[in-house]
């Protein structure tokens, strides 16, 4: 792990100065006419108000924008992580802990100008980064706000905080835009992903997406103050009874890089439709929290296969 105190300059500044950021926005907005932003490839015309799996049209829906002190320590520091929570999602997790946002769409539509003001306001409040939560389905809208915020002084790292069901082709548009990638890897097997989150071929798409993210930014790098400024950070939520097949996820990450930072999260609790899903004998464990022993087993396994930065972050 590299730890230093660089004079940080986000790479998105160079893209903006060269006009490349603006060109990418034009190409991404074209994709909205037959939307293929994510692996669902719904093909709807979002510019005309047609809605696909993410239930989002041409404008992003924002639920909240504020400094957040409950994220990983390397993002929070003293000033907090500047989170912008988007409503809706391209996944349909039956146990989603933010279901009011992801399933019910709580929030309001915003134009690019307001999104830019949110970014600048979070920077002004002293946040260490701008943390876009559930960005997969609103990438063009985020970049439209970014090009307005840059000339007004935006200079802090951007965090791509996704559910992991991302398209490699779309991620290619984000090279040198996002400094930190923080995806979930929810499952190690496709069956659970399909039945519990409505995602087909989840492991193929999630694993390929993470490989692309790693290619772009590499291992997580910190300042001397312990604040992340570039790199990959993975989240994995431990589900009871081994439902997530966490060991498969850890095996994949170990092959990616032994220095991969992995937050093995223990905060699962039954909510939204989890108890209904738990009526299926295969998913009975969704009706309870994971035990400490279940979480500790995954942490121990991750470290036993060489993942040096795995644990509860």
pLDDT at 6: 52
Name the pTM for this structure. 0.96
Q: Which of 8-17, 33-42, 147-156 has the lowest mean pLDDT?
A: 8-17
Tokens 């949110």 map to which residue?
A: 118
* CA-only gyration radius of the chain, Å: 19
pLDDT range class, residue 4, cuts 50, 70, 90? very low
Identify which has the larger pLDDT, 6 or 46.
Answer: 46
- Residue 32 in tokens: 């909205």
Region of 5 (left: φ > 0; alpha: ψ -120 to 50; beta: rest) is: beta
- Angle, CA 107 vertex, CA 239 and CA 45 arms, to 5°: 90
Q: State the DSSP string of the chain.
A: --B-------THHHHHHHTHHHHHHHHHHHHGGG--SSTT-----GGGT---TT---SSEEEEEEEEESSS-HHHHTTT-EEEEEES--S---TT-TTHHHHTT--SEEE-HHHHHHHHHHHHHTT-S-EEEES-GGGHHHHHHHHHHHGGGT--S-EEEE--S---HHHHGGGTTT-SEE--B---SSHHHHHHHH--TTHHHHHHHHHHHHHHHH-B-EE-TTS-EEEEEEEEEEPPGGGTT-HHHHHHHHHHH-TT-EEEEE------TTHHHHTTSGGGGGGGSPPPHHHHHHHHHHHHHTT-TEEE--
- Residue 182 to residue 159: CA distance in whole angstroms: 7
pLDDT per position as a tens digit, 109-154: 999 999 999 999 999 999 999 999 999 999 999 999 999 999 999 9
pLDDT per position as a tens digit, 236-246: 999 999 999 99
First to last CA, the chain: 15
- Residue 64 to residue 66: CA distance in whole angstroms: 7
- Residue 295 to residue 306: CA distance in whole angstroms: 17
Q: How much is the average pLDDT of 157-186?
A: 97
What are the residue boundaries of the structural domains of the chain, listed by start? 12-311
Residue 293 has pLDDT above 70, yes or no: yes
Q: 304 near 310, Cβ under 8 Å? A: no
Residue 56 has pLDDT above 90, yes or no: yes
Q: How much is the average pLDDT of 196-205?
A: 97
pLDDT at 313: 80
pLDDT at 5: 47
Residue 1 has pLDDT above 90, yes or no: no
Tokens 């009011």 map to which residue?
A: 100
Nearest to 59 by CA among 145, 114, 118, 141: 141
pLDDT range class, residue 172, cuts 50, 70, 90? very high
CATH code of domain 12-311: 3.20.20.70
Helices 202-217 and 190-197 sit at what angle, rounded to 10 degrees?
Answer: 100
- Residue 254 to residue 187: CA distance in whole angstroms: 15
């Amino acid at each position: 792990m590299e730890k230093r105190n660089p004079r940080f300059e986000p790479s998105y500044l160079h893209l903006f100065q060269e006009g490349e950021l603006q060109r990418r926005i034009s190409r991404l907005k074209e994709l909205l006419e037959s939307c293929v932003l994510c692996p669902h490839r719904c093909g709807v015309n979002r510019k005309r108000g047609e809605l696909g799996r993410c239930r989002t049209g041409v404008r992003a829906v924002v639920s909240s924008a504020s400094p957040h002190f409950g994220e990983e320590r390397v993002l929070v520091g003293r000033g907090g992580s500047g989170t912008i929570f988007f409503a809706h999602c391209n996944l349909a997790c039956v146990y989603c802990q933010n279901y009011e946002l992801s399933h019910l769409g709580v929030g309001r539509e915003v134009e690019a100008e307001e999104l830019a003001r949110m970014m600048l306001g979070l920077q002004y409040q002293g946040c260490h980064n701008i943390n876009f939560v559930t960005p997969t389905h609103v990438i063009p809208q985020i970049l439209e706000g970014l090009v307005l915020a840059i000339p007004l002084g935006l200079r802090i790292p951007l965090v791509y905080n996704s559910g992991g069901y991302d398209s490699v082709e779309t991620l290619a548009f984000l090279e040198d835009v996002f400094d930190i990638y923080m995806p979930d890897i929810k499952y190690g097997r496709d069956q659970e992903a399909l039945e519990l989150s409505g995602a087909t071929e989840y492991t193929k798409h999630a694993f390929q997406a993470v490989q692309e993210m790693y290619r772009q930014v590499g291992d997580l790098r910190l300042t001397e103050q312990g604040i992340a400024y570039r790199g990959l950070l993975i989240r994995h939520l431990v589900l009871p009874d081994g439902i997530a097949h966490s060991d498969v996820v850890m095996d994949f990450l170990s092959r990616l890089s032994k220095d991969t930072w992995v937050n093995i999260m223990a905060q699962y609790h039954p909510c939204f439709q989890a108890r209904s899903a738990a009526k299926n004998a295969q998913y009975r464990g969704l009706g309870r929290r994971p035990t400490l022993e279940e979480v500790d087993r995954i942490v121990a396994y991750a470290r036993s296969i060489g993942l040096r930065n795995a644990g509860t972050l």
